Amino acid sequence: MTGTAPGLLVFGAHPDDCEFTAAGLAALYARRGGRVRFVSVTNGDAGHQTLGGSTLARIRREEARAAAAVIGIESLVLDNHDGELLPTLDRRREIIAIIREFKPALVLSPRPNDYHPDHRYTATLVQDAAYMVTVPHAKAFADHLPRDPVIMYLSDRFQKPYPFTPDVVVDIGEVVEQKFAMIERHRSQVYDWLPYNAGDRDRVPEGDDERRAWLRARYEPRLRGIADRFRDQLVAAHGPERGAAIRYAEAFEACEYGAPFTDEARGRLFGWLAG
């Protein structure tokens, strides 16, 4: 492969959201020399069964930094309370400023239909900022962009009002170990809060090696499931032999509020992945 990947900016509601949905693409961009930043719109200070407040927020910020360091990308955790995010003007201006400063070619965001209010409102904030990043006086001290970046949605399994329908499915097999390593850095979540919330915290092993094996077994089906779910698109993109052999994938759906996802944009943002 030749050239350098463009800039990638990923928004998640909580400090581990970007890793679960886009760490593979981020690793591929970073490997190609692209600038990548993960942004958590809340500080995650409610995401634990016993810890909370500033103590948990600082733990989760450091976990996010450790995850980003695995592939050498940037991490930004905003100081908004977990579970209390609202699509206010102040938060919109915050998102506008981040996009303007970073000048991304591609922005990734959750979809606006989701079980968690923070996820929904993160999507709303990014959508509300999409056009406004080009309006000079919307944020006086952050220079406006001459045009919108491409915006795409991160994958989910929600069916209503309409199911996630990807425009791009990316083979992440060559970086999947890095993705698992990034997820594992969010230890307060993957070994404590998420199992506790699912009712099986007692199944988490004690030893580090045993925990990592348990984590791999827990989340590997999710990544394999995306490849299987969108197998036809992988075959169309890579041909029958390679497309059928891909085990791990991430998927992204174009958002109409950003720049049009044209054939030119597809080639510029993802075409180099085919090599």
Q: Looking at the domain assignment, is residue 225 inside a domain?
A: no
Q: Looking at the domain assignment, is residue 40 inside a domain?
A: yes
Q: Looking at the domain assignment, is residue 74 inside a domain?
A: yes
- Residues 146 and 100: their CA atoms lie apart, in Å, by 10
Give the range of the structural domain holding residue 67, as residue numbers without chain letter: 8-171+251-274
Q: Looking at the domain assignment, is residue 191 inside a domain?
A: no
Contact 60, 44 (CB under 8 A): yes
Q: Looking at the domain assignment, is residue 185 inside a domain?
A: no
Give residue 274's pLDDT. 59
Give residue 3's pLDDT. 59
Give the tokens for residue 259: 């720049």
Q: Looking at the domain assignment, is residue 15 inside a domain?
A: yes
Q: Which residues of the chain have pLDDT under 50?
A: 1-2, 275
Give residue 105's pLDDT. 97
Q: Looking at the domain assignment, is residue 36 inside a domain?
A: yes
Q: Which of 97, 89, 103 is nearest to 142 (CA)?
A: 97
Is the four-CA dihedral 127, 131, 134, 140 of positive or negative sign? negative
Contact 75, 11 (CB under 8 A): no
Q: How many structural domains are present in the chain? A: 1
Residue 102 sits in a domain of what CATH number?
3.40.50.10320
Tens digits of residue pLDDT in 217-262: 999 998 899 999 999 999 999 999 999 999 999 999 999 999 999 9
Give residue 273's pLDDT. 78
For residue 198, the Cα-to-chain-centroid distance in whole angstroms is 22
Give residue 241's pLDDT. 97
